[in-house]
Structure 1
Amino acid sequence: LHELQLYGWRQGSDEPDPRSLPEAGPLQGAVADMVDALVATLADTRLEGDLSPLLWSLTNVFHLSLQRTERALDRNESEQRRSQRDQDGSEIRSVELERLLAEGLSLIERRNAHELMRDAAVTLFERHLGEAWRPLNGSRTSHRALTAAVIDSRDFIAAKRRAEIEPLTPAGTKIAFAGGVDCNDHTRIWAALDRVHSKHADMVLLHG
């Protein structure tokens, strides 16, 4: 209680953050205030020549923050896939997957917020300097075109394809088997298949 009184609520390393994200308007306004302060302070002074690299660096700060969040999102996706494979019906595994899912959704929201700030800084950079902002390396990806309708549509199409394909594709590890006309030693064939089956008990045999 004493710590709460001194410092307030602090998020644990494995706890979701229940606080809301800033609204888009205030975020864009904060970025605009930073850029406007630099422009107003350095314009018509001997430091005006430094305005371009300073604005580039300011924009790059948001870009790097966005990249860090995207890397965390990639790690979360890998952990979700691993957790899906490890599901054994136990409550522990189920809770772990739920936690990773909640973390992933939070990371997506954070990614979108960082991207909003980066894009706002890019727009102001180009407006004040009349040149395009480009990152030092890599590309500048924007998810603003991914509206809720587009995402819902893609999810629907993906689900429809799975519903059409899965009945025709047995579950399990796919093992391809092929041989020419001389491949007719059934003893060796069964021995090879038995060895594979010992490693992949859920194997599905594919042949042509």
Structure 2
Amino acid sequence: MDHSHAHQPDITSTAHVLEELQLFGYRPFSDEPDPRPLPEGYRVAGAVADIFDALVATLDDTRLEPDLEGLLWSTVNLFHRAADRIERELDDNEQAQRQSQRDQDGSEIRSVELERLLAEGQTMLERRDAFELMRDQAADQYERHTGSCWRPRNGSMVNHRNLTSAVIDSRDFLMARQRAKSQILLPEGPKVVFSGGDSDDHSSIWARLDQAHAKHPDMVLIHGGSPKGAEKIASRWADVRHVRQVAFKPDWLSN
């Protein structure tokens, strides 16, 4: 008897969902808050260190060693770009929240929509902060292996979080985000402006900056961001002393 064309029972939608859960586990949809936890900080640090150690151990003392520093730089940049991408998504979320605020009419539908946008924004903040942590851990590994501080090619390297309660929460969220961005890009504290030309007198420069730091422990170092000379030495001093710094690099192309 030929059973090749025997009727196969249809799989119900519930059975399909259960099968997906068995195979892949629960996965939230793109428009749902993700309840899964973020990775622990110590796991992130260990994973990033393993990535760098694996690259160095594999390429060191081989014909590819000249390419190693560039690969390590790109590894840090991978996390940096991920944080930037989420920051752009946050900008879109912020605009959506503002539009949802304007659309509020006291109805439950509008309120729920705004709550959803708020939850998405908070998740994005946490994801961005996680990638910035990975970027910072990777930058530390880059410095450990190359002896140089990691800097992005462009932009800044920053570390960052009828009316209903949903509207108020959303406005608090937007205000808090704006304050956080301002504090990062415009750090508070006395500004110490440094310029030293092509001088390479490390001892003198560090001594003067140490004096300024002793007088102003919360100082912010302002310099021209030169890749060599006194400003490079000053930037390195700020890295070692954990002093916030703002580099005003000249825009030669616009002049």
TM-score range, shorter chain: 0.5 to 0.7
- 1:75 match: 92
Match of 1:31, SS state, is helix
Deviation string 1:102-137 (CA, Å, 9 cap, x unpaired) is 111111110110000001111111121111222222
Give the greater-gyration-radius structure (CA).
1
* Alpha-carbon shift at residue 44 of structure 1 (Å): 2.0
Alignment of 1:62 onto 2:91: no
Identity of counterpart residues, as a percentage?
65
Q: Select which of 7, 10, 18 maps to 2:35.
A: 18
Deviation string 1:76-123 (CA, Å, 9 cap, x unpaired) is 111111111111000000000100111111111101100000011111
For 2:148, the aligned partner's letter is: E
- 1:86 match: 103
- 2:220 match: none
Gaps of 5+ in 2: 1-17, 162-174, 180-255
Deviation string 1:46-98 (CA, Å, 9 cap, x unpaired) is 22111101101111111111111111111111111111111100000000010
Q: Select which of 113, 134, 139 maps to 2:156.
A: 139
Q: Distance in 1 between matches of 2:148 and 2:71?
A: 14
Gaps of 5+ in 1: 145-153, 159-208
- Tell me which of the two structures has the higher relative contact order, counting C-alpha pairs closer than 8 angstroms and 6 or more residues apart: 1
Q: Distance in 2 between matches of 1:38 and 1:44?
A: 12
For 1:115, the aligned partner's letter is: E
- 1:104 match: 121
Match of 2:34, SS state, is coil
Deviation string 1:4-42 (CA, Å, 9 cap, x unpaired) is 222221221211111011111101110110001111222
* Alpha-carbon shift at residue 2 of structure 1 (Å): 2.1
Match of 1:37, SS state, is helix
Q: Distance in 1 between matches of 2:48 and 2:158?
A: 19
Q: Select which of 47, 54, 68 maps to 1:37.
A: 54
- 1:114 match: 131
Alignment of 1:123 onto 2:140: yes
* TM-score (normalised: structure 1): 0.67
